[in-house]
Amino acid sequence: MQPYILNFAVKRKSHTQAALATTFDAESQVTVLIDQPHRPIVAEPSYAGVRTKKQDIEKGDDMKDTGPKPKPKPKPSPRTGLRGIKID
Amino acid sequence: MILILTTKDDIVSDLVVLRLGSLGEGVLRLNTEDPFDISIELDDNGQRWSVVQGLRCASSSDTTGVWYRRPGPKSLRSTPEIQDFVDDQWTCALKGLSTIGSAIWINDPFLTVAAENKILQLRTALQCGFRVSNTVITNEASRVGSFYAASGRQAVVKSLSSPWLQSSERFVFTSPLTENTLPGDEEAALAPFIAQKLLSPKTDIRVTVVGDTVLAAKIEADTLDWRLSEHTETWSACCLPAAVEKSCLRLCRALGLVFGAIDLIYSEDQYYFIEINPNGEWAWIEHQTSLDISGAIAQALRGSNSS
């Protein structure tokens, strides 16, 4: 048995930009994309990581019997996470 | 000098760091992952403090503002017990800095903890002139049943404390209470929770208060909890009635917060207080609305925009 309110808990992907290749630049004190060190990253909504069923399937999360998946390469783009917020 | 306590991957901090840089302000962004990279010292029996990371240093004598953003756990290859112990020592030290010197803290970490309590929030919000949707907090299933009936079978439930379950990556969103989801006696008894009369139709409003600045944005979400929306809607800046703005400022001051992210609902020509997040996120609102939240935070840290 679990607390009643946990009946309403749903899966939520943690909201990090871990899929991006970043590094911290001590000179500017900001986090930058590795291949575009001049360009800081813009944050996305903290809740943007909430995945829909459709997104899960697209990401292959529901296809557990298909063997190991290739490790995704970091995206060297000025976009962030699922929301794809772009700065220019 | 401005001190920011956070981690390397906190990209929200970047926005404020850049604004401070454009103002010519010195910044030490203390990334807390690596204890070997940080030096902290409290001298004269705790009368002064200094922290050093890399080539940068901040001290109680030259720091005008501290942003207690999101200092995170240390990256250690150790047992959970040692990890927790190390993190506790660092948390104690960093929070303790707020008790020394005259810097503005966004926010005082001790007051943040107190302000996160939803019961205190509701009581304080009422005192500050907000309307609150009819609410009951209980672990009694029968009480929830009677509340549900009294609310015309239009009610929601939500967690009383943190809605986030770390290990299973699950989140408790505000959820509708229905005949089929009414609690059983034992599961209700395990932990108290909030039941609230449903406000519908509604507009969700996020009010970001920074010092004396009130920045409001709204969204017409198609979901009960806007955080569950498909993100096809966008936020837009909005104006609040003067009385509501005043209540927002009063609430933050009553809770001792320089910064507060307040969730309101506008329904049937009335504004209702939902909750306040003392360390809430805001970058996506700035991006979608151009509300200058990072600028307001930068100014507040410099002492030029705080109550």
Report chain A residues whose CB lies below 8 A from the CB of B193.
3-5
**B11 vs A43: CB contact, 8 Å cut-off?**
yes
Give the mutation candidate from A30, A52, A79 for the B interface (greatest B CB count, under 10 A): A30
**B170 vs A18: CB contact, 8 Å cut-off?**
no
Instruction: With residue A54 as reference, give the H or E element that holds it.
Output: helix A53-58
Closest in B31, B157, B169 to A5, CB measured? B157
Confirm if B209 and B277 have CB atoms less than 8 A apart: no
Average pLDDT over residues A8-33: 71
Q: How far is B226 from chain A (nearest CA, A)?
A: 9
Statement: residue A88 has pLDDT above 60: no
> How many other CB atoms are found less than 10 A from the CB of residue B19?
20
pLDDT tens figures, B209-234: 999 999 999 988 778 888 777 666 78
Q: Is the torsion defined by CA of B269, B271, B274, B278 positive or negative?
A: positive
Question: CA–CA separation, B41 vs B96, rounded Å?
Answer: 12
Average pLDDT over residues A1-20: 75
pLDDT tens figures, B269-285: 999 999 999 999 898 89
Statement: residue B6 has pLDDT above 50: yes
Mean pLDDT of chain B: 93
Q: What is the structure's pLDDT at A36?
A: 56
**In terms of residues, how long is chain B?**
307
**A4 vs B287: CB contact, 8 Å cut-off?**
no
Pairing state between β B193-197 and B135-138: antiparallel
How far is residue B259 from each of residues B108, B169, B209, B277, measured CA to CA in Å? 10, 27, 5, 9
- Confidence class for position A46, pLDDT limits 50, 70, 90: very low
Statement: residue A66 has pLDDT above 80: no
Q: How far is B44 from chain A (nearest CA, A)?
A: 30
Question: CA–CA separation, B2 vs B64, rounded Å?
Answer: 6
| ipTM score | 0.85
Report chain B residues whose CB lies below 8 A from the CB of A55.
none
Closest CA to B98 of B112, B83, B84, B85: B112
Q: What is the structure's pLDDT at A14?
A: 52
- Confidence class for position A68, pLDDT limits 50, 70, 90: very low
Give the mutation candidate from B1, B161, B284 for the A interface (greatest A CB count, under 10 A): B284
**A40 vs B54: CB contact, 8 Å cut-off?**
no
Question: CA–CA separation, B47 vs A39, rounded Å?
Answer: 40
For the question of whether the overall pTM of this predicted structure is more than 0.95, the answer is no
Closest in A24, A44, A46 to B8, CB measured? A24
Structure tokens at A75: 């995206």
Confirm if B38 and B13 have CB atoms less than 8 A apart: no
Report chain A residues whose CB lies below 8 A from the CB of B14.
30-31, 40-41, 43
**B11 vs A41: CB contact, 8 Å cut-off?**
yes
Report chain A residues whose CB lies below 8 A from the CB of B169.
11-14
* Residue in chain A lying closest to B139 (CA): A4
Closest CA to B206 of B107, B275, B114, B299: B275
> How many other CB atoms are found less than 10 A from the CB of residue B246?
14
Question: CA–CA separation, A55 vs A18, rounded Å?
Answer: 18
Question: CA–CA separation, B74 vs B192, rounded Å?
Answer: 33
* Residue in chain B lying closest to A2 (CA): B187
Instruction: With residue B88 as reference, give the H or E element that holds it.
Output: helix B80-96
Statement: residue B113 has pLDDT above 50: yes
pLDDT tens figures, B188-202: 999 999 999 999 999
Question: CA–CA separation, A73 vs A20, rounded Å?
Answer: 9
Q: How far is A78 from chain B (nearest CA, A)?
A: 13
Question: CA–CA separation, A62 vs B21, rounded Å?
Answer: 45
Q: Which residue has the higher pLDDT, B34 or A57?
A: B34
Percent above pLDDT 90 for chain B: 77
For A:4-63, CB contacts with B below 8 A are: 4-14, 16-18, 22, 24, 26, 28-31, 40-48, 50, 52
pLDDT tens figures, B58-70: 999 999 999 999 9
Statement: residue B307 has pLDDT above 60: no
Closest CA to B198 of B265, B128, B139: B265
Closest in B11, B164, B227 to A17, CB measured? B11
**B230 vs A52: CB contact, 8 Å cut-off?**
yes
- Confidence class for position B287, pLDDT limits 50, 70, 90: confident
Question: CA–CA separation, A81 vs A38, rounded Å?
Answer: 19
- Confidence class for position A35, pLDDT limits 50, 70, 90: low
